[in-house]
Every structure is written in C-alpha cells, then in structure tokens.
Amino acid sequence: MLYRGGRVRSPVSPFATAMLTDGDTVAWVGGEEVAATFAADLAGRPEAAVVELDDALVTPAFVDAHVHATAAGLALGGLDLAGAPTLTAALDALAAYARGRSGSIILGTGWDESAWPEGRAPTAAEIDRAAGGGAAGSGSGPLVYLARADVHSAVVSSALSARAGVGAGFPGWSGDGRCRLDAHHAVRATALASIGADQRAEAQRRTRSRAAELGIGALHEMAGPQVSSQDDLIGLLALARAEPGPEVWGYWSGEIATAVRLGVGCGGDLFVDGSIGSHTAALGAPYADRAGEVGTLHLDVDDVREQVLEATAAGAQIGFHAIGDAAIAAVLDGLEAAAGRVGRDRIAGGRHRLEHCEMADPDAVRRMARLGVVASVQPAFDARWGGPDGMYAERLGQERAAAMNPFAGLAAAGVVLALSSDAPVTPLDPWAGVRAAARHHSPGAALSARAAFSAATRGGWRAARAEGDGSGELAPGRPASFAVWAVPGELVVQVPDDRIAGWSTDPRAGVAGLPDLAGPAPRCLRTVVRGEPVFVADGADSR
C-alpha cells in the first residue's frame, strides 16, 4: 500500500509526504519524487493499492492505556447519564430508557451529583419509581445498576440490592440504594452476571469499533474479579485475535498465577484505593468536604511488597490503582521494600505501573523515576473535574486540587507516561486527552503538545513493555499501525515560551507539526493496525 500526497509524522523526516507499507510493516517513508516511482511500479500489481491522501495527516495510531472494554461498550449502547444536568433529568432519562425493557436489567453509568443543583445521588425509592414495575422500595421491581461517573460507587434499585444480598451492616451500604466498597463490588458482580456471553461480546465489539473510528490502534484492558471476570477477559482477548480491530493488551488484577497462565499483565486495576469523587481515594489528610474521612487503603506496604515480589519472580509486570497520596506512598514504599530484597535494578527493569497516580507529590515523582515506574494517566479527569470550581477542589480544597495530575513534573523526572481514558469513566477520545494534557487547569502541570502526543502513542507501547519492535513510530521496519486524519487548518509547532515567536514555523527547524489543539479535532479517515485497515471512513477508499 502506498500512501502519498499527504503529511506523514515520522522520525525519518519532518517533511515526509508519503509512506509505503509491505504487509504489516512500514517499508519506506519519504517524498513525492520517490513516491511517484513506487506508484508506477505498483500499477501492474493487482494486490497493491495507492491511497491519495489529499493533504491528510498520517500519524502513529493512538494507544488507550487503561480501559474496561465491556463496560465501555455497554455504556456506548446503554443508558448514559453523563450529560444529565440535574438529578431530575437523570431520573427522567432512566424512566424513558426503562420503557419496553421489562424483565431485563438496566445498566447505566456516568451520573455525577457534584455537578447537579440537587447535590445528591438518586435514592433506591426514586430509582424504583422511575424504572417502574413494583412499589417503590418494595424490592420487587426491576434490576437497575447506575454507576457513578468514577465507577467506584453506584446507586441501585431495591430489587438489585436484594438479589445481591446487600443490606444493613454490609460494608459500604448506605441503606438508600447507594453503595461503595464491598457493597459496590457485590451489586456490580450481580448486575454483570446477568449479561449473557453474546451481549458481552457485542459490547466488546462496540468498544473496539468505536476505538478504531477514533484512530486508536491498541487498548490496555484492565480486568479483574472486582471489575469484570476471567470469562470476560478471555472472551475479549479471543475476539481481538479473531476479528479485525485495535490490538488488546490484557491485565488481570486477581491472582498473579492466573495472570501468568492467561499470558497477561498482573494487576492494572489492583486496587490500593478508590476515587476522589466517591471519597474512597486514600489520603494523608481528610477530605475538605467530609470531616474525618481519609478514604480507604485496601493494600498496605507489606501487601504491595509481596505482590511485587511474586510478579518479579514470574517475570511479570504489575500495576496498581492508586489515586490518593496515601495510596501512592504505600505502593512506592512497597516497591522499595521489594527492591531491598531483590535489588533496585530488577524492580526498575519490571517497569511496573501506577494507574492514575493523581496526587503524586514531587517526592513521589522522584521515587517513581528511581523505581522505573510507569504512570498511566487520564488527562480528561483534569479537564472534567479540575480547576478552582471543580469537583477536585470541592473534595480536597483548592491547594491540593491544583497540585493534582502533575504531568509535566512526571515527564521532567523521566517517568514514562501513557495517556488513557479509563473508559467508561471518560469517553474514548484520544485527541481530547492530548488537548487536556497540554491545556491542564494548572499551567505548570501541562505537557507540551509533542510530549502529550508521544505519551498517547509511543507511551502506550512502552507502558505495556511492548515497544521492542518500534511500535508507536512510523519508520522503515516498524509496524504499520497508523491513522490518517483530515486536519482543519495548518499543522503547528507549539512554542516553548510566549516570548519566542516565529521559529516554530521555520522549515529549517526540522520539527514536525501537529494539529492546532485550540481548534476543532481532526477527523479520522482511516485506521490501520499492523497493515490491516480496521476503519475506513466513507469516501476514504483507496484508489
């Protein structure tokens, strides 16, 4: 396949306009003069094709380094409450969705009471009433599971809590349909158990299809007994092998022996704490809006040390979900304790992961760099909940909130960064992630556009310890995994300082440009994974 007449983002040349692929590999990158020769040679080969790019941009495919494919697919095809402006609107949406679904479980996600004027979550009685079927609060109505935006807590109907065996005295149960911690795990497991294999596979297809439409060539699936199931992960991996679409790198947060047997990473969503929004992230000082509450630490230093040692003995990478500063400290203390047993080089060589790490202070950042820890981060979290008036400031106070998600500090320390969405917590949208990383609410924490793009592409492969074949860059001999974009406007190079003007547009600088992040997002025309087109927009066929 020859792609010509465009702009190719490649380390080979900042001015490349064409690229030739051979099977699953990039064979050549360069200019139009050589491309014309290739086009003439390919004209007599029926298995070859030429794609006229018409000035489109070709980049490495994106990697979303933290997703939950089934949950994201269910959200794409189910009840999405992320746009509900009020509690009343959310209940109205539930009522409309429930009509005609008698006897089937209702799964919803995305509500966020911190943005509602009512300032509270729905109750079980309100859910029962909105979903219909049975008297409110009777426990005989429909099964309804509505996950909060962070997916670390939920509200459920009376019938679902009864079926899950959750009630008075159950850890994390509030008595009015709201559940966190163990209660949340119990109701979520009951809800997901009602989904058949065909419905699960369709949700996974929906996620992979949506990812391909957005120029995503690989997904890191974060599975585990508290968020999905072994069957769910096995089915997704089998689907990814059998059907075209983004590659899937799996992680399992249950037993390390199981992860090794499945051939996937350990942990990923191995929970050390919860989330800021649900008041379950483990903090060193109490939440500003809930006196005395410091969240929940699920694993202590000894737990982390033993998990790391077991993974290291198996030659496996392990990842920990840690958002709060106390949780991050527990992980780093555990890694250092493990390093005391087997040596720092061996721990650093494992390239173990911290998922989210939103409250990493400067000392934690330095420790992460020394220990070779990868940070899988979600810039969309800052875009959605950051800022002086955002949910983080409400939960933590403005000073602590302003220090969250220190992307620039992590990058400056040499920590490998990989961008992700945590879908369905925030939508699959890689350009939005790049934009959010470069336009952080705290300017000193923002990445440059180039660094953000690298973290959203090559960083994902490095995070999975899968960059050995050169994935994430377009150059001869490297995998042909890329996306083609219609870009509104010209490519630009972000200047490092407002006092400097002009140098970035000088072609002598030899710096490849990117779409202007202040403008409309590029539109994906084509996504190719290891030489195989997995998405082609209407009107973008080869010719």
Count of structural domains within the chain = 3
Same domain as 165, residue 126: yes
Same domain as 82, residue 160: yes
Residue matched to tokens 């998600």: 405
Same domain as 408, residue 295: yes
Same domain as 74, residue 40: no
Mean pLDDT of the chain: 92
Same domain as 302, residue 178: no
| End-of-domain residue from the set 143, 178, 193 | 193
> Of all helices (H) and strands (E), which one includes residue 266?
strand 265-271
Same domain as 77, residue 169: yes
Question: What pTM did the predictor assign?
Answer: 0.90
Instruction: Quickly state the pLDDT bin for 128 (edges 50, 70, 90).
Output: very high
103 or 316: which carries more pLDDT confidence?
316
Task: Kindly state whether residue 463 falls inside one of the protein's structural domains.
Answer: no
Query: Mean pLDDT, to the nearest integer, of 193-220?
Result: 95
Task: Kindly state whether residue 354 falls inside one of the protein's structural domains.
Answer: yes
Domain containing 479: what range? Answer: 2-61+473-536
Same domain as 386, residue 341: yes
Residue 508 in 3-state DSSP?
helix
Determine the pLDDT at residue 181: 87
Query: Mean pLDDT, to the nearest integer, of 217-244?
Result: 95
In the predicted structure, residue 542 carries a pLDDT above the cut 70: no
Q: How far apart are CA 17 and CA 14, in angstroms?
A: 9
Main-chain phi, psi angles of 248, to 5 degrees: -125, 125
DSSP state for residue 176 in the 8-state scheme? S
- 2, 473, 532 from 23: Cα distances, Å: 11, 17, 8
| End-of-domain residue from the set 449, 481, 499 | 449
Task: Kindly state whether residue 284 falls inside one of the protein's structural domains.
Answer: yes
Same domain as 53, residue 84: no
Query: Mean pLDDT, to the nearest integer, of 23-29?
Result: 97
Please give the structure tokens belonging to residue 112.
């966020």
Distance of CA 196 to the CA centre of its chain: 25
* Segment among 98-112, 161-175, 435-449 with least mean pLDDT: 98-112
Instruction: Report the share of the chain in percent with pLDDT over 90.
Output: 77
Query: Mean pLDDT, to the nearest integer, of 55-60?
Result: 97
Task: Kindly state whether residue 236 falls inside one of the protein's structural domains.
Answer: no
Task: Kindly state whether residue 348 falls inside one of the protein's structural domains.
Answer: yes
Query: Mean pLDDT, to the nearest integer, of 248-265?
Result: 96
Same domain as 75, residue 56: no
Same domain as 420, residue 340: yes
Neighbours of 168 (CB within 10 A): 6
Same domain as 86, residue 25: no
Burial of 386-402, coded b for 16+ CB within 10 Å and e otherwise, reads: bbeebbbbbbbeeebbb
Task: Kindly state whether residue 10 falls inside one of the protein's structural domains.
Answer: yes
Residue matched to tokens 């953000």: 452
